Structure 1
């Protein structure tokens, strides 16, 4: 019978956490999981008396702490650019990121969105394209989110804070008082809740005024 003591199990768990961290699309999640895995592996190294293993992994943990601190504290410059849904650059961007877009917004269909009155923009972070926002008007003062997609390396909530909090007057000046969004995936639901959206069944809503 295969037998392992608790120390071996702890080492395997540390390895698994470190391995899983490398599969994350989000840089922030990668850093957090890698920090946990490296910390566990460093402790494992101490417990088995392997100083090089402990030193290397504690160094990796410190590096993760530094970059997480930098991610959460550095001031990013955001801007937006109004776009039409037939824009060729938008089409290329959506096709290139199609798998990720469908995972987060399985019901998104740009052809259907094109038939509606939309507010669409490309979001830039430090002049680099970070994501795309597309909303369609529903009634006099409501905007339904069709797509709110951000590239994995920028998923630290700052783009969302720029759209819905810092730049809320962009919508209110156009008569939008309520933003609604359908539940699409677990990850996106968490994002909406962090942005202040209230949930009602499979629907989320955010009052702007």
Structure 2
């Protein structure tokens, strides 16, 4: 086989990979082309995530919720997206980029969650695993989700929540 033909074949293969990458809707699928980042995203220890405490008056938090509100409505009832009842808010960042928000109400060593939202880019559950591990380190023993939509159930089950008496519960 001639060198020119081999270069042409590699060129066509490269074009196919570029086209496939442009058709990807999931970051994880796209990262198959970039193995380093796939390994980095799938790290179980969550070293690339940070958790910061938020508050209701935070203008960025208000912007974040407004920006993602239509997507959030797929997973949460609209009344749960209000921050008025929340006294506990955490923002999860991946290398400085906001990846998700959790809002809830502290009840002793339990946290009643109003919403736990992750942006589409980080929906591989690694941000959630990091978040719940960090919350357990902060002293929370139990997490409760009372108002759960069909769209949110599979995430809760992946995070280890079980349905008890009509609500989803996870013990730390």
With the length of structure 2 as denominator, give the TM-score of the two structures: 0.71
Higher relative CO (CA 8 A, sep ≥ 6), structure 1 or 2? Answer: 2
* Aligned-residue offset at 1:96: 0.9
CA distance in 2 between counterparts of 1:204 and 1:137 reads: 16
CA distance in 2 between counterparts of 1:80 and 1:68 reads: 26
Partner of 1:162 in structure 2?
130
Unaligned runs of 5+ in 2: 1-22
With the length of structure 1 as denominator, give the TM-score of the two structures: 0.60
Unaligned runs of 5+ in 1: 1-21, 32-62
Structure 1 segment 170-181 matched on structure 2, within 5 A: 170=138, 172=139, 176-181=140-145
Q: Count residues with an aligned counterpart.
A: 145
Cα shift readout 1:158-200 (whole Å, capped 9, x = no counterpart): 1111111255212x1xxx3211013533342111111111112
**C-alpha RMSD over aligned residues:** 2.6
Structure 1 segment 4-83 matched on structure 2, within 5 A: 26-28=26-28, 31=29, 65-67=32-34, 70-71=37-38, 73-74=39-40, 75=43, 77-83=48-54
Specify which structure has the higher proportion of strand.
2
Specify which structure has the higher proportion of helix.
1
Ranges of 4+ aligned residues in structure 1 off by more than 3 Å: 63-70, 107-111
Determine which structure has more spread, i.e. the larger CA radius of gyration. Answer: 1
